[in-house]
């Protein structure tokens, strides 16, 4: 019996965590439809070792989130292939958004090409979700702040530090098209509507010809990867960059959130050459994908009208001043706390000495 391996490669911020949890929590549904969710190298409901082992072998130092395991990518992927071969099911799914970075590392692409050539008995298909570039970049920026990364302003992050795979979709998908052919790429669109009424799960299951049942499923009660509210995002980012304590960040965030409900700040658009280059590259990537994946051309055409948008200049400048004030307030708070601790210690020492002499403080 010929087997098929489905690689769900993300993209980031397209409900990937929710899909992974859904697949992990509902193995019975999968078994009923000749599917299994791979157990090989599964951690936290996903299979990131498949990507990290490739990147580590290719000499990548960043973005591995502490990964330092001794297995070679050949060993990791061989174990995955063996699980599928030994299974009674003919189809298996693995999922990790980390594979979406493959196009950034040519050596990792070359290594994976050699690895898949060792499994000619297994067909491989690639599932990818994309969302409109502007929406994706806003969401990814939010994620970086939420993870506690030292993150510059939105404009600077997009034009200087965020990986191109987050706006150049052709770069992100090109290695997969090259490795397995356009006919093996299953491309879907993600939007805000995807998370309503389990639409994302229904869409994912439809790839395998499965109609989502109304009963008998295990679903998480909430969003497994909630975002920071837009109005407090910059407050959290700036406090993190000033190395404020978690307590200070959380307290200030809550206070600002309440305050912001009564305030609204509007800025004015300002152009920038670096940001325009990002927009041009985003557009170029969409044009390339439209040629290579014509069946997805209609959705890609819609994305053309939703390119990344630069943050308003005056609002961004205001946040720089606000960041200075917030940092000063936090530094003052820390100083006062240290002084209070020292004062309490001195009082306790004085009371102890007085007690030792048989006297009581008045």
User: Are 261 and 326 within one domain?
Assistant: yes
Could you tell me the two tokens for 260? 């912001």
Answer yes or no: is 91 within a domain. Answer: yes
pLDDT in tens, the chain (362 residues): 899 999 999 999 999 999 999 999 999 999 999 999 999 999 999 999 999 999 999 999 988 999 999 999 999 999 999 999 999 999 999 999 999 999 999 999 999 999 999 999 999 999 999 999 999 999 999 999 998 888 998 999 998 889 999 999 999 999 999 999 999 999 999 999 998 999 999 999 999 999 999 899 999 888 888 888 876 888 888 888 888 888 888 887 777 776 666 554 433 334 457 788 899 999 999 999 999 999 999 999 999 999 998 876 545 556 655 665 676 687 778 888 888 888 888 888 888 888 776 655 55
Answer yes or no: is 43 within a domain. Answer: yes
- How many folded domains does the chain comprise? 2
pLDDT for 254 equals 79
User: Are 201 and 252 within one domain?
Assistant: no
Q: How far is CA 342 from the centre of its chain?
A: 43
Answer yes or no: is 215 within a domain. Answer: no
Domain that holds residue 110: 3-148+164-206
The predicted model scores a pTM of 0.81
Answer yes or no: is 223 within a domain. Answer: no
pLDDT for 332 equals 79
pLDDT for 233 equals 86
User: Are 117 and 233 within one domain?
Assistant: no
User: Are 8 and 72 within one domain?
Assistant: yes
pLDDT for 229 equals 81
Q: Are 147 and 206 in contact (CB under 8 A)?
A: no
Show the beta-strand stretches assigned E in the chain: 3-8, 35-37, 91-95, 122-130, 185-189
Question: How deeply is 146 buried, as exposed, middle or buried, from its count of CB atoms within 10 A (0-12, 13-18, 19+)?
Answer: middle
pLDDT for 265 equals 42
* Rounded Cα distance, 137 and 156, in Å: 12
User: Are 240 and 185 within one domain?
Assistant: no
Q: What is the CATH number of the domain that holds 115?
A: 3.40.50
User: Are 41 and 112 within one domain?
Assistant: yes
Answer yes or no: is 295 within a domain. Answer: no
Residue for token digits 């670096």?
274
Backbone angles phi, psi at 11, to 5 degrees: -80, 170
User: Are 200 and 317 within one domain?
Assistant: no
């Amino acid at each position: 019996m010929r087997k098929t391996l489905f690689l769900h490669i993300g993209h980031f911020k397209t409900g990937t965590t929710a899909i992974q949890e859904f697949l992990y929590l509902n193995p019975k549904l999968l078994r009923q439809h000749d599917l299994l969710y791979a157990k090989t190298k599964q951690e936290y409901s996903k299979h990131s070792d498949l990507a990290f082992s490739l990147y580590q072998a290719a000499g990548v130092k960043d973005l591995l989130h502490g990964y330092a395991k001794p297995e070679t990518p050949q060993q990791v992927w061989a174990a995955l292939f063996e699980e599928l071969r030994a299974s009674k099911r003919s189809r298996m799914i693995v999922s990790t958004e980390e594979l979406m970075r493959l196009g950034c590392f040519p050596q990792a692409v070359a290594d994976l090409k050699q690895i898949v050539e060792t499994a000619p008995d297994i067909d491989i298909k690639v599932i990818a979700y994309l969302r409109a570039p502007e929406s994706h970049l806003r969401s990814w920026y939010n994620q970086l702040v939420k993870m506690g990364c030292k993150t510059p302003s939105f404009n600077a992050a997009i034009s200087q530090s965020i990986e191109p795979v987050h706006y150049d979709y052709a770069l992100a998908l090109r290695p997969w098209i090259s490795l397995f052919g356009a006919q093996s790429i299953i491309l879907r669109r993600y939007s805000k509507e995807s998370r309503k009424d389990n639409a994302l799960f229904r869409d994912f299951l439809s790839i395998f010809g499965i109609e989502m049942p109304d009963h008998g499923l295990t679903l998480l009660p909430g969003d497994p990867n909630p975002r920071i509210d837009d109005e407090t995002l910059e407050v959290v980012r700036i406090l993190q960059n000033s190395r404020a304590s978690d307590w200070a960040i959380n307290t200030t965030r809550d206070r600002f959130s309440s305050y912001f409900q009564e305030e609204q700040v509007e800025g004015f658009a300002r152009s920038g050459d670096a940001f325009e280059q990002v927009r041009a590259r985003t557009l170029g990537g969409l044009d390339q994908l439209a040629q290579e994946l014509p069946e997805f051309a209609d959705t890609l055409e819609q994305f053309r009208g939703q390119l990344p948008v630069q943050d308003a200049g005056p609002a961004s400048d205001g946040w720089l001043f606000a960041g200075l004030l917030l940092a000063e307030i936090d530094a003052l708070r820390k100083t006062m706390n240290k002084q209070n601790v020292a004062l309490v210690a001195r009082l306790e020492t004085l009371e102890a000495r007085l007690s030792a002499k048989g006297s009581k403080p008045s």
